[in-house]
């Protein structure tokens, strides 16, 4: 039996975290309404919880980029490659150099999107956990035209999903593939074609449509490592469903980060995403 290396998540401490501008509906009314000490405590809780089952690597925080805590948006890692994000909003564009330097120092090959194409990394690009497939959310931040570029760069099938509700502006706010090919999602965040595409690829007994209330509590913005799920908050019904699928659920309040439009999953970037065996052999 082979022993698998533990999952490794990249995080960035909220030393400089604040709501300093508005680029999504969650941030409205929250400028200067954050409490950084509370944010630091909530972030530490998440780190502690993740470290019970996984590795957490931290990149240095930097002044002037308050959203860099949301490392999911740094890029998309697959094997030894990372596609660097090209942020839509100028406010987040200075993060790109920080992430590029971090990835290069870890020995990853840093790939860039063609000039002018917006792409927000693992916030919008999520690997399916049942088949060799990447889901790409587009419509708010990342662009549909990224799909063929990513497919070509990484040699993986990419299924685009149009996002239609501005509150769910990144795919990871409303869609969460889980180990074993399971899926949590909030169908109303997607257009009809996307809902059909999801139903065509994920069998109904393996997908669970969360309620609007769970979606607004960022239940889909969950970190999954093995049979463990870490999230801000889940209703008893959602907890029961996850337990039926064999997952243990840890709820960690991340309310300070929700003021900026993010929660558990946004605060992490999974660094070890091994290539499926056949692709490694082919490549």
Residues classed as catalytic: 170, 266
Calpha distance 76→110 (Å, rounded) = 10
Residue 24 within binding range of ligand ARG, rule CB under 6 A:
yes
Residue with tokens 């929660």: 263
Give least dist CB 89 to ligand ARG, A: 7
> Is 59:267 a contact under the CB 8 Å cutoff?
no
Looking at the DSSP bridge assignments, the partners of residue 12 are 59
Nearer to ligand ARG, 129 or 245 (CB): 129
Per CB under 6 A, contacts with ligand ARG among 81-110 are 92
CA angle 172, 173, 176 (to 5 degrees): 50
Calpha distance 217→204 (Å, rounded) = 23
CA angle 104, 280, 245 (to 5 degrees): 95
- What order of strands is seen across the sheet that includes strand 55-59? 55-59, 8-12, 269-270
Per CB under 6 A, the segment of 93-101, 125-133, 167-175, 271-279 that binds ligand ARG is 167-175
Give least dist CB 246 to ligand ARG, A: 26
Give least dist CB 202 to ligand ARG, A: 21
Give least dist CB 282 to ligand ARG, A: 30
Calpha distance 181→207 (Å, rounded) = 9
Instruction: Tell me which DSSP letter residue 174 carries.
Output: T
> Is 195:187 a contact under the CB 8 Å cutoff?
yes
Per CB under 6 A, contacts with ligand ARG among 38-77 are 67, 70, 72-73
Residue with tokens 């019904």: 237
Residue 23 within binding range of ligand ARG, rule CB under 6 A:
yes
Per CB under 6 A, contacts with ligand ARG among 247-266 are 260-262, 266
Give least dist CB 261 to ligand ARG, A: 4
Give least dist CB 30 to ligand ARG, A: 10
**From residue 182 to residue 221, what is the string marking binding to ligand ARG with x (rule CB under 6 A)?**
----------------------------------------
Per CB under 6 A, the segment of 23-31, 34-42, 148-156, 229-237 that binds ligand ARG is 23-31
Nearer to ligand ARG, 16 or 227 (CB): 16
Calpha distance 182→244 (Å, rounded) = 12
Calpha distance 182→174 (Å, rounded) = 14
Q: Which residue lies nearest ligand ARG, judged by its C-beta?
A: 123
Count the site residues for ligand ARG by CB under 6 A.
16
Instruction: Tell me which DSSP letter residue 233 carries.
Output: -
- Which residues contribute to the site for ligand ARG (CB under 6 A)? 23-24, 27, 67, 70, 72-73, 92, 123, 170, 172-173, 260-262, 266
């Amino acid at each position: 039996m082979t022993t698998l290396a533990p999952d490794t998540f990249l995080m960035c401490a909220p030393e400089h975290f604040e709501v300093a501008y508005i680029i999504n509906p969650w941030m409205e009314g929250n400028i200067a309404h954050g409490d950084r000490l509370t944010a630091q405590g909530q972030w530490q809780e998440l780190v502690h919880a993740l470290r019970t089952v996984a590795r957490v690597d931290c990149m240095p925080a930097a002044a002037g980029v308050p959203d860099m805590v949301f490392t999911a948006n740094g890029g998309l890692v697959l094997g030894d490659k990372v596609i660097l994000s090209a942020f839509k909003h100028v406010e987040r564009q200075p993060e790109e150099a920080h992430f590029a330097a971090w990835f290069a120092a870890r020995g990853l090959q840093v790939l860039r999107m063609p000039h002018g194409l917006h792409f927000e990394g693992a916030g919008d690009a999520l690997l399916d956990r049942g088949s060799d497939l990447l889901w790409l959310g587009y419509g708010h931040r990342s662009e549909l035209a990224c799909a063929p570029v990513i497919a070509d760069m990484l040699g993986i099938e990419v299924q685009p999903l149009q996002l239609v509700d501005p509150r769910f502006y990144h795919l990871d706010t409303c869609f969460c593939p889980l180990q074993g090919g399971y899926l949590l999602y909030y169908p109303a965040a997607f257009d009809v074609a996307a809902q059909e595409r999801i139903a065509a690829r994920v069998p109904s007994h393996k997908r669970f449509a969360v309620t609007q209330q769970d979606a607004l509590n960022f239940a889909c913005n969950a970190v999954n490592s093995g049979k463990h799920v870490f999230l801000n908050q889940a209703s008893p019904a959602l907890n029961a469903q996850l337990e039926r699928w064999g997952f243990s659920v840890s709820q960690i309040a991340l309310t300070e980060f929700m003021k900026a439009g993010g929660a558990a999953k946004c605060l992490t970037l999974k660094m070890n995403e091994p290539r499926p065996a056949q692709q490694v052999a082919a490549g």
